[in-house]
Amino acid sequence: MSEGRDEVHAYTIRLELVDEPGELLRALHPIADNGGNLLSIFHERGNLTPRGHIPVEVDLEATPERFDTIVEALRDAGVNVIQAGAERYSEEVTVLLVGDLVQTDLSNTLSRIQEGTDASVTDVSLSAPEGTENGSSARLRLAIQSGEADAVLDSVREVAAEKDLRAIEPLAAGGEA
């Protein structure tokens, strides 16, 4: 008996979808039908791939055997799978961004953070109590690989500086007294 066959792992699948009603739902059916547990969906509606389609990143949990079945079922359903592989996120970091997030294209900001690192945006909460013209704030929850927090935060800082946003980071672990 092979060790780890029944262990559940986190995986990321990057898809390319046509911009038509129901396409995202159609892409999610093979995941649900084959026992995948959705963790997050990053649907980049504001961006297009070079072929004019919408990029979608799906994080899910499954056993290795089920994951292979899910990828095969997606392809059989005609869903364009750009990348499928294990990305075992073992840590999470939360960052706040403050500034003109809407005017500086929040979708682009999130995409650039993900492209510059191996992080995955698992949750975004946007607040603009005085309307988008007066600035806003966003809480980003990022799933990261163990030991990658510094690199991810460097990328967040770089993107924030370019867009004149303020990045509020988690406190670093304290040293010995």
pLDDT digits 0-9 by tens, 21-41 = 999 999 999 999 999 999 889
In a domain, 38, yes or no: yes
Mean pLDDT value of segment 51-55: 83
Note whether 124 and 70 are same-domain residues. no
Note whether 129 and 76 are same-domain residues. no
* Confidence band, pLDDT 50/70/90 cuts, at residue 177: very low
In a domain, 95, yes or no: yes
Note whether 160 and 104 are same-domain residues. yes
Note whether 54 and 97 are same-domain residues. no
Q: Residue for token digits 């690192």?
A: 117
Asked if the model's pLDDT at residue 134 lies above 90, the reply is no
Asked if the model's pLDDT at residue 167 lies above 90, the reply is yes
In a domain, 130, yes or no: yes
* Confidence band, pLDDT 50/70/90 cuts, at residue 154: very high
Do 42 and 1 touch, CB atoms closer than 8 A?
no
d(CA 29, CA 25): 6
In a domain, 2, yes or no: no
In a domain, 175, yes or no: no
Number of domains into which the chain is organized:
2
Note whether 50 and 96 are same-domain residues. no
Tens of pLDDT, residues 57-90? 898 999 999 999 999 999 999 998 888 875 556 6
Note whether 42 and 82 are same-domain residues. yes
Q: What number of other Cβ atoms are within 10 A of residue 174's Cβ?
A: 6
Single residue among 42, 61, 86 that ends a domain in this structure: 86
Whichever domain contains 128, its CATH number is: 3.30.70.260
pTM, rounded to two decimals: 0.52
Q: Give the structural domain span for 159.
A: 91-168
In a domain, 177, yes or no: no
Note whether 14 and 31 are same-domain residues. yes
Note whether 114 and 131 are same-domain residues. yes
Q: What is the DSSP string of 88-152?
A: ---EEEEEEEEE-TTTT-HHHHHHHHHHTSS-EEEEEEEE-TT-GGG-EEEEEEEEE-TT-HHHH
Asked if the model's pLDDT at residue 122 lies above 80, the reply is no
Note whether 125 and 76 are same-domain residues. no
Do 112 and 97 touch, CB atoms closer than 8 A?
no
In a domain, 29, yes or no: yes
* Confidence band, pLDDT 50/70/90 cuts, at residue 174: very low
Single residue among 63, 86, 109 that ends a domain in this structure: 86
